[in-house]
């Protein structure tokens, strides 16, 4: 009788190990490749006083850098085109870095999937090592955390 339970226990343990291995492999296969940014951070340690800074600090974030200008260059055929992106702040909480974008009255975000993709995806792809983007509306006292994730249901 005891041999029957030992065999059943071994089958159960093997099933659990197989299930965990299968799930881990499936997650690893579906995980997108991350593109490491070659741009890096050039921290701006002089942090100017702004209502958004106080709001972020009250929410438990530590502001580690003020506004950054990220120069970009695109080569199209033989032409070199220049542009830039601005990051309002870089903050840190629990060892994770977040990029901060301040809400502006004249350029709002449409809070739909495509609106967020259009406005914030470049930040998430440019610095994949960051935990996400914080969208700060200092006038309304709101902080929205945006992270890039996958929808396993689709």
Q: Note the pLDDT tens digit of each residue in 76-108.
A: 999 999 998 888 898 988 888 899 999 887 777
Mean pLDDT in the chain?
Answer: 82
Read off the pLDDT of each residue in 52-61 and give the average, rounded to a whole number.
90
Read off the pLDDT of each residue in 107-131 and give the average, rounded to a whole number.
85
**Does the pLDDT of residue 34 top 50, yes or no?**
no
Q: What is the topology classification, in CATH, of domain 51-146? A: Trna Endonuclease; Chain: A, domain 1 (3.40.1350)
Return the higher-pLDDT residue of 16 and 37: 16
User: Which CA distances in Å does 124 have to 55, 63, 149?
Assistant: 22, 18, 11
């Amino acid at each position: 009788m005891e041999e029957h339970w030992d065999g059943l226990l071994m089958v159960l343990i093997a099933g659990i190990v197989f299930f965990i291995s299968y799930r881990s492999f499936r997650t690893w296969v579906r995980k997108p490749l991350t593109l490491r940014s070659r741009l890096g951070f050039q921290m701006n340690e002089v942090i100017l006083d702004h209502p958004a800074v106080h709001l972020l600090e009250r929410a438990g974030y530590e502001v580690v850098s003020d506004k950054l200008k990220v120069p970009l260059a695109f080569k199209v055929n033989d032409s070199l085109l220049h542009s830039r992106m601005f990051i309002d702040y870089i903050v840190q909480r629990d060892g994770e870095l977040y990029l901060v974008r301040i809400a502006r009255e004249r350029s709002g975000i449409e809070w739909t999937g495509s609106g967020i993709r259009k406005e914030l995806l470049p930040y998430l792809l440019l610095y994949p090592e960051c935990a996400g983007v914080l969208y700060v509306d200092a006038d309304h006292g709101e902080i929205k955390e945006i992270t890039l994730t996958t929808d396993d249901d689709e």
